[in-house]
Every structure is written in structure tokens, then in C-alpha cells.
Amino acid sequence: MPELPEVEVICRGLRPHVVGRRIQEVVCGPKELRLAVPRNALQKQIAGATIMKLSRRAKYLLFDMDNGRRLLVHLGMTGRLGIFPAKAVQALHDHLIFRLDDGMEMRYNDTRRFGFVVVQERTGQENAPLAQLGPEPFWPEFSAEYLKKKAAGRLQPIKNFLMDSRVVVGIGNIYASEILFAAGILPTMPIGSLILDQWRTIITISRQVLTRAIEAGGTTISDYVNASGTPGYFQLELAVYGRAGDKCRKCRAIIEKQTIAGRASYFCPRCQK
């Protein structure tokens, strides 16, 4: 699943091509996504509107239109959103095509169809599914004091805590593993046992890891590509994720894999305590 860096890279790649552009037509394929495709709203409220702003919130892409509507896109597990010339051959799993007034097309492709799109009215407040989200990792609200208060007295493993979008958004399985390795903390550590300095370290490392991943164009494990169809390169820097049985690049111990709350977790038993 694309995590914060991948969605941010796609957002930045799309922005110069779509902001200020009028959507002349929306072509909807016959298949549904994770949620039913809002065909009527796309045809009546998005077609004919101009994209005034494109932003990211958590793992969502937000297209704000000049008619007060917002197109919200979640890529799910295998979703792709890219820019193509109108004459480019359509791919097998292109489910939505947004035809722009400059002859280009923004196409939503999703092999497994776990993504979804929603058309909303912009109200000045966050509507579902955004309303229950925690802060962004780069926001000042994401502080050591905030995390320590959230974690007080709880036994939840730190890795699951960081992956909870009600606590902080955009950190999935890959980056949670990498952040905890860089911070020297085991993924099974109970959150209530961490002291303030450890939370400060986690915040600093989180921002560093996510920034490096964005600069590298994201992490391509299987399906992810950016808005131009190019894979990311951060997978070349992964210290622990997907490396079970390999030697730790820092201490040469063997990287281990453990299932925590149903998710595969990777860690170095020597570097992480």
C-alpha cells in the first residue's frame, strides 16, 4: 500500500499538470472499487469543474474544485494515478479517466480495486473519512508530549501505535519498521514504558526517514510508481524491511521477522532494544 511518501510524491508530480486545468469529461469503467464509484457525482459535479488546488492529507489526495466540490482519492493497495497523453493506449485496469482541457488525461488504475474515490462538498471542516485522522508527522502537533500522553499506561506495541492513523497519519508497515530500527527500539516495546526522550527520538527519526523516502521518490516493492510511471528508489536504502535472514548493515547480526498484530515486522535483535 502506498504510504505517506509515495502519496506525497504522486501529489507533487500531478500538481503542475492538473492545477488550473478544467476537467472536460470523466470516463468511468464498469467495475466498482472498494466503494461504489460515484458516477453521477463525477459526471455532474466534477466534469466541467476546474482544479484549483491539489493537496495530500494522510494517504488521501484532495482535489479542490472551483465549484466548491472536492474529489478525494485513496489509492488502496495497488492504485496508481498518472498523467498521460490522450493518445496513449489505455491499460487493462484503468477504471477512471479524467480528460483535461489541455489534451492530457489523468488516469486512475487499480489492479486489486481496493482504492476508492469520493466527491464531497468543501465545508471548511474535515468530513469523513478525514475527520478522525491524527496529525501529520511534520505538523508541530506531532510532539513528544502528545505521544507520551497518548501512550500513558498502555501496553500496545510501539509499531502498531505508530501505524494507527488516529495517532499519526501516513506511517505504514514499511516506514514503521525503518523508523524503529533507526531509533533503536524494538517493535514489540510497550508504548507506556517509553520515556519522553525516546518519543523525541522517534519524532526526529520519523521526519528524517519520511523526508529521505520522499526525496528518493518513494519505495517500490511491487506496484508503486509515481505520476510519470517511474518507480521509487528508497527500497535500495531499506535497513530492515523485507530483509529477514540478511545481515544488519550496521552490526552484522541477522535481521529477524516477527508477526505483530497480524503484520510482518522486521528488526535487528542487536541494534534494537
Do the first three CATH levels of 4-121 and 144-267 match, i.e. the same topology? Answer: no
Q: Are 137 and 170 in contact (CB under 8 A)?
A: yes
* pLDDT computed for residue 198 by the predictor: 98
* pLDDT computed for residue 224 by the predictor: 85
CATH architecture of 144-267: Orthogonal Bundle (1.10)
Cα–Cα separations (whole angstroms), residue 208 to 21, 38, 60, 213: 34, 38, 21, 9
Q: Which residue has the higher pLDDT, 245 or 1?
A: 245
Res 1 pLDDT > 90: no
CA distance 268 to 273: 9
- Give per-residue pLDDT as tens, 32-45: 999 999 999 999 99
- Give per-residue pLDDT as tens, 14-27: 999 999 999 999 99
Name the one residue in this structure whose C-alpha cell is 492529507.
57
Res 128 pLDDT > 90: no
Active-site annotation, residues: 2-3, 59, 263
User: Options 3.40.250.10, 3.20.190.10, 3.10.20.740, 3.40.640.10; which CATH number does 4-121 get?
Assistant: 3.20.190.10
Res 163 pLDDT > 80: yes
Grid coordinates in use for 70?
472536492
Percent over 90 (pLDDT), the chain:
90
**How is the chain split into domains, by residue range?**
4-121, 144-267
Residue 24's Cβ-count burial label (10 Å; 0-12, 13-18, 19+) is middle
- Give per-residue pLDDT as tens, 229-272: 888 989 999 999 999 999 999 999 999 999 998 899 999 999 99
The residue among 64, 32, 29, 30 whose CA lies nearest residue 46 is 64
* pLDDT computed for residue 261 by the predictor: 84
pLDDT confidence band for 123 (50 / 70 / 90)? confident
Q: Which helix (H) or strand (E) holds 94?
A: strand 94-100
